[in-house]
Chains A and B, each alone.
Chain A
Amino acid sequence: MTADTTRRRPPAHYRPDPESHPPVSFPAYRSNVARAPRHPLVLLPQRLGEITGPLLGEERVGRYDNDLTIQHSEEPQGQRIVVGGRVLDGDGKPIPNTLVEVWQANAGGRYRHDLDRHPAPLDPNFSGVGRTLTDADGNYRFITIAPGAYPWKNHHNAWRPAHIHFSVFGRAFTQRLITQMYFPGDPLFDQDPIFTSARPAAREAMVAKFDLDSTIPEWAVGYHWDIVLRGSDPTPFEDEEDHDDE
């Protein structure tokens, strides 16, 4: 990072999310019961440590990290997909050069994790882990394979809809987000307490759209998914945001 010579006007405050997140306590997700705090959250005014946050850069991203299909000697099983979009704040302003991390199950719905006991085969050619940085316009892009749905023991015959886990930082501690991206039209949504834990109006924001523009002929189906983090007040002075050099 170079010295900050073009000083931004620091945001005074990141606005609360419009109705969006799941509640702290959500017993339909069984393992929430012994883990969710019982006391109400204490309001924390946003000061310096909340309006700043880690700006993690290229040192966290390896050469093949944004293509989950070329990390092994052969290609993984499954349907190749392209997943891309932008990381934005609540005002629609792109967040450039920010770290995006993903992890997912393989095409059979199995994670490469010792504790995943789902009897679907592991794929020796798929790790299911990716990282990238957004570009100057907030765009990210991964090439991967479509993850499979998988059963879990939350309740009788419970199945997770296919999803990709995403972790993003934005520019401030206040904006930190870990979430999941889902695929359009999945019939498993309504029986999944994790998906339905989000407020009804916000669920759509977790579902990618089929995207013909990023679909690669004869090769891979494209999906578009924007990630929206909290917006801030006051918005920076006009035109100023174009001169960041950090």
Chain B
Amino acid sequence: MSDLQTTPSQTVGPFFAIGLPWEDGPFVVAQDSPDAFRVVGKVLDGDGAPVPDALVEVWQADPEGRFAHPDDPRGPLARMDFRGFGRSATDESGRFWFHTVKPGALPCDDGEEAPHLNVSVFCRGMLVRLVTRIYFPDEPGNDQDPVLVSLPDPARRGTLIAEAAPYGYRFDIHLQGDDETVFFDL
């Protein structure tokens, strides 16, 4: 099989805000969706300083655990208006936010993945995308999640789990430092 040279990743740079943010980007679901909440967090560097030029994207299943995508083998969604994608550029304090609903658990060969959001982080200074996940603190399924239970360093598991907050959940992304978030190689 031919394997073409893939195009290398390059940094998103400091000026992506002229083009990439969308007004409705942080809205994974519409403002008035039932059971919607906010996920709010900051992107922080190794010195604990906010990263004001990061782009955070999320990709998630709907509350039934289905993806708005034809490669989900279980067929179309019950709610055709569900997209499952969000994009938020950080502000000067490093803050990003999403308005979303909790995804369902996902079936997989080795059991079931607990509800989570897939996250991409791009920023000035990084030449490649960083991938992480946002899990939820109130999910008993976390204890059987194949990703959470197989982390090489179980002490870092907490970096993937959001904290409950009045508006929904809080999730900070530490690019580096003592609390460095777990990032994945896909």
* Chain A residues within 8 Å of B, Cβ to Cβ: 1, 3-4, 7-8, 10-11, 14-15, 17-18, 20-24, 26, 29, 31-39, 41-56, 60, 88, 90-92, 101-103, 105, 111-113, 115-116, 127-131, 165, 167, 171-174, 176-180, 194-195, 197-199, 201-206, 226-231, 235, 244, 246
Tell me, rounded to whole Å, the shortest Cβ–Cβ distance linking B159 to chain A: 10
Task: Establish whether residues A91 and B2, one from each chain, have CB atoms under 8 Å apart when the complex forms.
Answer: yes
Complex Cα spacing A120 to B156, Å: 46
Complex Cα spacing A60 to B127, Å: 26
Residue B137 at the chain A interface, CB threshold 8 Å: no
Pick the interface stretch among B29-37, B115-123, B164-172: B115-123
Which residues of A lie under 8 Å from residue B4 when comparing CB positions? Answer: 88, 90-92, 228, 231
Task: Establish whether residues B3 and A18, one from each chain, have CB atoms under 8 Å apart when the complex forms.
Answer: yes
Give the interface centre of B11, B47, B73 by most chain A CB atoms within 10 Å.
B11
Complex Cα spacing A15 to B1, Å: 12
Task: Establish whether residues B7 and A20, one from each chain, have CB atoms under 8 Å apart when the complex forms.
Answer: yes
Given contacts A1-B80, A39-B180, A112-B18, whether A17 and B175 have CB atoms under 8 Å apart is no
Task: Establish whether residues B151 and A3, one from each chain, have CB atoms under 8 Å apart when the complex forms.
Answer: no
Task: Establish whether residues B127 and A52, one from each chain, have CB atoms under 8 Å apart when the complex forms.
Answer: no
Q: Count A/B pairs, Cβ under 8 Å.
A: 251
Give the interface size class of chain B. Answer: 35 or more
Residue among B7, B72, B122, B128 making CB contact with A48, cutoff 8 Å: B72
Residues 3-43 of B, flagged 1 when their CB comes within 8 A of A and 0 if not, give: 11111111111111111101000000000000000000000
Task: Establish whether residues A34 and B186, one from each chain, have CB atoms under 8 Å apart when the complex forms.
Answer: no
Residues 80-104 of B, flagged 1 when their CB comes within 8 A of A and 0 if not, give: 1001110000000000000000000
Task: Establish whether residues A35 and B18, one from each chain, have CB atoms under 8 Å apart when the complex forms.
Answer: no
5 pairs from A and B in contact (CB 8 Å cutoff): A24-B126, A35-B125, A36-B176, A41-B184, A165-B13
Residue B70 at the chain A interface, CB threshold 8 Å: yes
Task: Establish whether residues A173 and B118, one from each chain, have CB atoms under 8 Å apart when the complex forms.
Answer: yes
Which residues of A lie under 8 Å from residue B67 when comparing CB positions? Answer: 48-49, 52
Tell me, rounded to whole Å, the shortest Cβ–Cβ distance linking A208 to chain B: 11
Task: Establish whether residues A38 and B180, one from each chain, have CB atoms under 8 Å apart when the complex forms.
Answer: yes
Tell me, rounded to whole Å, the shortest Cβ–Cβ distance linking B75 to chain A: 7
Give the nearest-CB partner of B84 in chain A. Answer: A54
Tell me, rounded to whole Å, the shortest Cβ–Cβ distance linking A69 to chain B: 16
Which residues of B lie under 8 Å from residue A11 when comparing CB positions? Answer: 71
Task: Establish whether residues B69 and A55, one from each chain, have CB atoms under 8 Å apart when the complex forms.
Answer: yes
Complex Cα spacing A102 to B13, Å: 13
Residues 57-76 of B, flagged 1 when their CB comes within 8 A of A and 0 if not, give: 10111000001111111011
Task: Establish whether residues A44 and B186, one from each chain, have CB atoms under 8 Å apart when the complex forms.
Answer: yes
